[in-house]
Structure 1
Amino acid sequence: MEKKNSRMKRALKLRSKIKRLGTTRLSVHKTSQHIYAQIISGDGNSTLASASTNQAAIKAAVGYTGNIKAAAEVGKVIAERALAAGITEVAFDRSGFKYHGRVKALAEAAREAGLKF
């Protein structure tokens, strides 16, 4: 539980800072098999866009869902959906995960697709 508690403490610190700013955030969660991304409104009450490797279109495009290629595809899709919803700038909430590997691939793909953070 020590590892999870440390991650949750980092996530709480980051989310409190984003909440003070009051901006829309791109929240990321990962498991060993999947990665999930959501665009959450500034007040935190509603999800404006979402994408994950559980969705059939992404799953068919990448095959295995627990790697960097799949995370990059999710980043691209979430950026397209955010831009379609009129959102161009977000704060990146990595949920306490290190900015490395799949989290980094998702963030870079979202930036390349036109999302600013």
Structure 2
Amino acid sequence: MKKNKNKKYKKVFGNPDRPRISVFRSNKSIYAQVIDDSSGRTLTSSSSIEKIFRDCKKNNKTDLSMKVGRLLGNRIKKLNIKKLVFDKGRYLYHGRVKSLADGIREIGLDF
């Protein structure tokens, strides 16, 4: 019998007051998006493959994740959202995922 490996990660849920930040990490890049689960809409997103980060490929991936977090934090702040729910998915809260979260917290958002 095959187990559903994503079953234990389904507990994090965002609403209009506290949207969810979903993180996806690949070997080369990191992606984050802010989702309102009650309406099923993506409010904003940011990733390391955006045009402004093309010159930053010389940096290490942790520093790049911090910059992506700051960019996402600024975009969230423009939407007048102050509180969020952080969904790290199946990744450990360590390394690039932690850097992304720290970049968002630097802007002054709370989760």
Fold agreement, TM-score > 0.5 = yes
1:87 Cα shift? Answer: 1.2
Q: Would you say 1:116 and 2:110 are equivalent positions? A: yes
The aligned residue for residue 23 of structure 2 is 28
Q: Tell me, yes or no, if the aligned pair for 1:28 and 1:36 is still in contact at 8 Å.
A: yes
The aligned residue for residue 82 of structure 1 is 76
Give me the identity figure in percent: 30
The aligned residue for residue 34 of structure 2 is 39
Gaps of 5+ in 1: none
Moved over 3 A (4+): none
CA–CA separation in structure 1 for the residues paired with 2:92 and 2:42: 23
| Deviations, residues 36-68 of structure 1 (Å, cap 9, x unaligned) | 0101014151111100011011222x2247610
1:88 Cα shift? Answer: 1.2
The aligned residue for residue 95 of structure 2 is 101
RMSD: 2.1
CA–CA separation in structure 2 for the residues paired with 1:115 and 1:47: 18
The structure carrying a bigger helix percent of its residues is 1
Q: Tell me the TM-score normalised to structure 1 length.
A: 0.81
For these two proteins, the number of residue pairs brought into alignment is 107
Q: Tell me, yes or no, if the aligned pair for 1:32 and 1:66 is still in contact at 8 Å.
A: no
